[in-house]
Amino acid sequence: MTAYKAGFVNIIGKPNAGKSTLMNALVGEKLAIATPKAQTTRHRIIGIVSGEGYQIVYSDTPGILEPRYRLHKSMMEEVNQAMNDGDILLCLADAKEKEPFSEETISDLVNNPSRKLLVVNKADLSTQEELEAFMETWKQRLAAEDVLVISALHTFNLERLTAKLIDMLPEHPAYYGEDELTDKSERFLASEIVREQIFLQYRQEVPYSTEVIVSSFKDEPDILRIEADIMVERASQKGILIGHKGEALKQVGIAARKDLEKFFSKKIYLGLHVRIKENWRDNSQFLQQLGYHAK
């Protein structure tokens, strides 16, 4: 009888490498928000896949960046934890990025005892010659034991990736129940769905200056009622979010409600309110209230 295998596969890489898109595709459910903008992911999000004889616990992590705010420091703390508590580090690299990992990250990975798999994403945007050169160079630089080419967006080669990860998993009982999908609450997932629409519909600094807090989550027989506060840092940002006669905020609400109804398979009432919290990204106490590891 084949032994059961289970382990933690932590996905790391630069902002916009495609980490969230990849985890969603591997899990088969949209757990992590994904937008064309960098730095969309702020929290470490777990996605659980249980199959015949195995369980893979994926972690989507924030993109590796140079911190500018306490918020960024918290995000990098999530990455540091992921670098040190995984059975497998899935090092995701954008095939079009000349330096997909910084020298500091390379050093951390080379000295890391976890098993490492280099996964080259966005393969459809590169030639075969470019891919082969990229793979050879970065497999050596990261001391990865193997390398695979994928397209997370087009789900190319993901079955082969899953098979490779199962092969690399240690023998271990399941960490979660077979029907569990993530460690995050429904309130958290709802807040992220709203925040995704802010990233999709606003430009420049505004999305990065916002945080969404679900203040009320009432699951009634015929409808799920959600009230959410959108926090901004300045009055000018509040004006941009709301828009002329509230039209901009209305569009966020319409789009978010559609996604919420799709995710929860239920009719949704969504109330959105914009509130100002000056410099919240550098406010340790407030960040801790939001669930960040702020110091």
My answer on whether 96 and 217 are in the same domain is no
The per-residue pLDDT string of the chain (295 residues; one tens digit each, 9 = 90 and over) reads 689 999 999 999 999 999 999 999 999 999 999 888 888 999 999 999 999 999 999 999 999 998 999 999 999 999 999 999 999 999 999 988 889 999 999 999 999 999 999 999 987 777 888 889 999 999 999 999 999 999 999 999 999 999 999 999 999 999 999 999 999 999 999 999 999 999 999 988 899 999 999 999 999 999 999 999 999 999 999 999 999 999 999 999 999 999 999 999 999 999 999 999 999 999 999 999 999 986 6
Residue 234 has which token pair?
Answer: 């300045």
Residue that is last in its domain, among 168, 196, 221:
168
Strands (E), 38-167: 45-51, 54-60, 88-94, 115-121, 146-149
Q: Which is it for strands 211-219 and 224-232: parallel, antiparallel or unpaired?
A: antiparallel
Q: Are residues 281 and 194 in the same domain?
A: yes
Note whether residue 178 is domain-resident: no
User: Do residues 58 and 162 share a domain?
Assistant: yes
pLDDT digits (tens, 9 = 90+) for 148-176: 999 999 999 999 999 999 999 999 999 99
If asked whether residues 217 and 153 sit together in one domain, one would say no
Determine, yes or no, domain membership for 244. Answer: yes
Q: Encoding tokens for residue 174?
A: 């399941």
Do residue 191 and residue 157 come from a single domain?
no
In a domain, 117, yes or no: yes
Report yes or no: 31 and 189 within 8 Å, Cβ to Cβ: yes
The distance of Cα 222 from the centroid of its chain, to the nearest Å, equals 31
CATH number for the domain including 124? 3.40.50.300
Spatial neighbors of 171 by CB under 8 A, at least 6 apart, are: 3, 4, 5
Cα 81 from Cα 271, distance rounded (Å): 35
Q: Hey, what amino acid is at 41?
A: T
Decide if 182 contacts 47 (C-beta within 8 A): yes
190 occurs within a structural domain: yes
Flag whether 261 is in a domain: yes
> What residues pair up with 116 in beta bridges, in sequence order?
89
**Residue 161 sits in the same domain as residue 190:** no
Residue 220 in domain: yes
Q: Check whether residue 153 and residue 205 sit in a common domain.
A: no
Owning domain of residue 58 = 5-168
Is residue 241 within 8 Å of residue 206, measured between CB atoms? yes
For the chain, what is the domain count?
Answer: 2
CATH number of the domain to which 212 belongs = 3.30.300.20
Same domain? 46 vs 132: yes
The contacts of residue 283 (CB under 8 Å, 6+ apart) are 70, 277
Domain identity same for 201 and 101: no
pLDDT in tens, 133-151: 999 999 999 999 999 999 9
Q: Is residue 211 within 8 Å of 280, Cβ to Cβ?
A: yes
Residue 177 forms part of a structural domain: no
Residue 154 and residue 31 share a domain = yes
Short-list 126, 144, 129, 49, CA closest to 88: 144
Q: Choose the final residue of a domain: 133, 168, 203.
A: 168
Helix H, strand E, coil C: the string for 222-245 is: CCEEEEEEEEECCHHHHHHHHCHH
219 and 161 both lie in a single domain = no
Q: Looking at 168, 200, 224, which one is the last position of a domain?
A: 168
Same domain, 160 and 15: yes
Asked whether residue 154 is domain-assigned, the answer is yes
